[in-house]
Structure 1
Amino acid sequence: MQFETLQKDMIAAMKARDKVRKDAISTLVSAAKKAAIDEGCRDDIKEELVNRVILKEMKSVKEQIDTCPASREDLLAEYQTRYDIFAEYAPQMMSAEEVEAYITEKFADVAASKNKGQIMKAVMPELKGKADGSVINQVVQKLCQ
């Protein structure tokens, strides 16, 4: 996701007077700016950084949804709406089949060792932000059998 796209969508939400959407996108914009400042690239916010921030924010909202008491339906609805808006901007994750194909193609030598620790150590940095960790773990488990 391009940072400029987020900013344009936030402005569009403001013009449409859609407060919920504007607030959700505003959260992503501020988190991306903060992460960029922390990493020292305030003027040039990379797509990879924005994607990482979106996934982090989605995880935090998912935790809020999971820990919210069932009696607080208003909060639950608010969190779910925010999660859905974040999901629109989240990068598409690789499927298990895609992860397996990627590992067997790029890491054939390590995968041949059938050592789960070595495979995970080699694969995780490459697939971070591109595939869910649990999916990667399942695929590696399958390859080690």
Structure 2
Amino acid sequence: MSKFEDLQKAMVAAMKARDKARKDAVSSIISDVKKVAIDSGCRDNIGDDLVNQVIMKSLKTVKEQIDTCPDDRAELKAEYQFRYDVIKEYAPAMMSEDEIRTMLTEKFSEVIATKNKGAIMKEIMPALKGKADGKVINAIVAELCK
């Protein structure tokens, strides 16, 4: 079963449970996925990579909403936090620091040997996009380039 189908089933379950907030959060992900799928021309065949990409973008957007929400708007902040928690349930697991370091030293040892941070990032980012936190990758690459 695809990740998109999982989201659709989760939305139906939330509707049956009369959990409006959860249904709205999952529904917004589904809507965003459909938009991106139509834009990329794969509306009939929505892959897990596309779903993960949209989920990560949604997660980032909601995190920014939480971070920029004024403290005196506690109700709104709680709503954003709930949405973040629901989206996080469907987000792909990120690689740990050790997993990233191992992958870089095993698969990208030649480019790392150049100590050219720009070339390294250009080479590794496509392989790690959506699988690892960019800040962690950047820190590890900086450490390896010393």
User: Does TM-score exceed 0.5, indicating one fold?
Assistant: yes
Unaligned runs of 5+ in 2: none
Cα shift at 1:97: 1.0
Paired with 1:98 and 1:141, the residues of 2 have a C-alpha distance of: 16
Report the Cα distance in structure 2 between the residues aligned to 1:132 and 1:49, rounded to whole angstroms: 18
SS in 2 for 1:131: coil
- Counterparts of 2:128 and 2:29 in 1: how far apart (Å)? 22
Structure 1 counterpart of 2:49, one-letter code: E
1:101 corresponds in structure 2 to 102
Matches within 5 A, 1:1-145: 2-145=3-146
Q: Report SS of the residue matched to 1:94.
A: coil
TM-superposition CA deviations, 1:73-103 (whole Å, max 9, x none): 1000000000000000000011111111101
Instruction: Tell me the amino acid that sits aligned with residue 48 of structure 1.
Output: D
Please identify runs of 4+ aligned residues in structure 1 that moved more than 4 A. Answer: none
The one-letter amino acid of 1:122's match is E
Amino acid at match of 1:143: L
Deviation digits for residues 33-67 of structure 1 (CA, Å, limit 9, x no counterpart): 00000000000000000000001001111111111
Amino acid in structure 1 at the alignment position of 2:121: M
Identity %: 63
TM-score with structure 2 length normalisation?
0.97
Which region of structure 1 is more displaced relative to structure 2, 107-116 or 46-55? Answer: 107-116
Q: Report the RMSD for the aligned CA atoms in angstroms.
A: 0.8
